[in-house]
Amino acid sequence: MMRRKEARAGFLFALPWLFGLVAFMFYPLLMSLYYSFCDYSALRSPVWVGGDNYVELFHDEVFWTCVKNTLIYACVSLPLSMVVAIGLAMLLNTNVKGMTVYRTIFFIPSLVPMVSLAMLWLWILNGDYGVLNTALGAIGIKGPNWLSDVAWTKPALILMSVWGVGNAMLIYLASLQDVPTSLLEASELDGANAWQKTRNVTLPMISPVIQFNMVMGIIGSLQVFAIPFVMFPGGTPARSTYFYATYLYDSAFTYSRMGYASAMGWILFVVILLLTLVALKLSNRHVHYGGV
């Protein structure tokens, strides 16, 4: 009886989303799945071609180049950004004078519109006089050609992604507010040092949020798009910055191959889904729900 009442309440609470899901999500999702089996340019009506798009993708060199680039990018940028974001959030959670100002400053890179940001980076990473290479030169390191050397374009993009961790940082910061000070104080009385406190109290307490950022990080880094799209049109030099989502976008809108792009979209969907499930399974053991 109690159970049924609860279930009805739960369903009622979820109703807006259930409606949103059906009204705004299902149709586009199913249509894109259907298009992935079609010859479809967005302008012409779709014509069923079976698994042709998937077969073609499998033999598409550019596709595999993009897969490789994306995996390299994600494998480095995701863990790095997570560590940096948590670190910064903890730093911003300390009790220091002027914290509101610091927090605002740390969030700034996330506020600047993408196009301005791309211009800024082109300027910072300039090989001759760029701010970064000038700074490196001052400490005796000869900076690489960030923008034109195929070996350095991906590291440049990873660097930019780390610098743009503002959103994840903010989420961590909010979650750190939920860590009861009483627990921290208790462990301090037990003689724990800063690292032990972090390891044994703080991290377990915010673990659901770490899990959230991990999942969003997987999705975001495998779908990396805006910055490479603006800064390296076409994935120059020599497709070293051509990523999965940029190729997908080009296929859909530049090459007018919406069906092909949809097939790419659904492959990526399956990959992300599997990775997310694995990541959730592995991390669930360490995730701690329900506070105390």
Partner 1 sequence: MSKLSDLFIPGLIALSFLALAGTELRAHPKDDPVKTHIAVWVGWSGFEYDAFQSVVDDYNKSQNKVFVDLLSITGNSTKTLISTSAGIPPEISLLSAAEIPQFADAGAIDVLDEDCKKYGWTEDKYVPGYWGVIQYHGHTMALPATPSTVALHYNTDILKRSGYGKPPETIEEMDEMVNKITKVENGKVKVAGFLPAEPGWWRWSWGPYFGGQLWDGKSKITMNTPENLRAMKWVESFSKRFGPAQIQAYKSGFGVFASPENAFLADKVAMEVQGVWMNNFIEKYNPKLKWNAAPFPYPKDRPDLKGHTIIEQDIFVLLKNCKHRAEAVDFLAYLQKQGPMEKLCLGQKKSSPLRVKSDEFWAKQDNPCIHLFDDMAYNKNCIATPKIGIWPEYEAEIGNAMDEVSLLQKTPEDALKAIDARMQPKLDQYLNRLEKRREAGK
Partner 2 sequence: MKRKTFETSVTHVALVTLSCLFIFPFLWLLDTAVKPISETMKQPPVWIPSKFEFGNFWEAINYGSDKVGYIPFLVYAENTVMLAMLVVTGTVVSNAIVAYSFARVRWWGRDLIFAVTLATMMVPFPVMMVPTFTIFKYLGWIGTYRPLWVPAWFGSAFSIFLLRQFFKTIPFELSEAAKIDGAGEWTIFRSIILPLSKPALSVVALFAFMGTWNDFMGPLIYLLRQETFTLSLGLEFYHSKAGGTQWNLLMAATSIVILPVLVVFFFCQRQFIKGISITGIK
Residues 51-80 close enough to bind partner 2 by CB under 8 A: none
Q: Among 72, 80, 69, which Cα is nearest to 213's?
A: 80
- Choose the one of partner 2, partner 1, none that binds residue 146, judging by a C-beta under 5 to 8 angstroms depending on kind: partner 1
Q: How far is the CB of 29 from partner 1 (least distance, A)?
A: 17
- Residue 46 DSSP label: P
- Report d(CA 244, CA 57) in Å as an integer: 12
- At which residue do the structure tokens 């705004």 appear? 24
Among partner 2, partner 1, none, the one that 256 touches (CB under a kind-dependent 5 to 8 A) is: partner 1
The interface partner of residue 173, options being partner 1, partner 2, none and the CB cut-off 5 to 8 Å by kind, is partner 2
Per CB under 8 A, 184 contacts partner 2:
no
Q: What's the rounded Cα separation, in Å, for the pair 45 and 55?
A: 21
| Binding residue (CB under 8 A) for partner 1 from 2, 23, 43, 96 | 43
Distance CA(45)–CA(65), nearest Å, equals 30
Closer residue to partner 2 (CB): 223 or 238: 223
Q: Which stretch binds partner 2 (CB under 8 A): 47-55, 64-72, 233-241, 254-262?
A: 254-262
Binders of partner 2 in range 220-239 (CB under 8 A): 223
Give the Cα separation of 245 and 234 in Å (integer). 12
Segment interacting with partner 1, rule: CB under 8 A, options 12-20, 99-107, 120-128, 162-170: 120-128
Residue 21 forms beta bridges with which residues? none
Q: Residue 288 has which token pair? A: 């701690």
Whole-angstrom Cα distance, residue 70 to residue 239?
Answer: 12
Please state the closest distance from residue 52 (CB atom) to partner 1, in A. 9
CB 259, min distance to partner 2, A:
10
Neighbour tally for 68: CB within 10 Å: 13
Longest dimension (CA), the chain: 74
* 55, containing H or E segment: helix 52-58
83 binds, among partner 2, partner 1, none (CB under 5 to 8 A by kind): none
Enumerate residues 215-274 that contact partner 1 by CB under 8 A.
234-239, 250, 253-256
Question: Judged by CB under 8 A, how many residues of this single chain contact partner 1?
Answer: 34
* Binds 188: which of partner 1, partner 2, none (CB < 5-8 Å by kind): none
Is 45 strand, coil or helix?
Answer: coil
The answer for residues whose C-beta is within 8 angstroms of residue 73's C-beta and 6 or more apart is: 154, 157, 158, 161, 221, 224, 243
Q: Does 135 bind partner 2 (CB under 8 A)?
A: no
Among 10, 26, 44, 273, contact with partner 1 (rule: CB under 8 A): 44
Q: Which two tokens stand for residue 208?
A: 């659901």
The residues that touch partner 1, with contacts defined as CB under 8 A, are 39, 41-45, 47, 49, 56, 61, 119, 122-123, 126-129, 145-150, 234-239, 250, 253-256
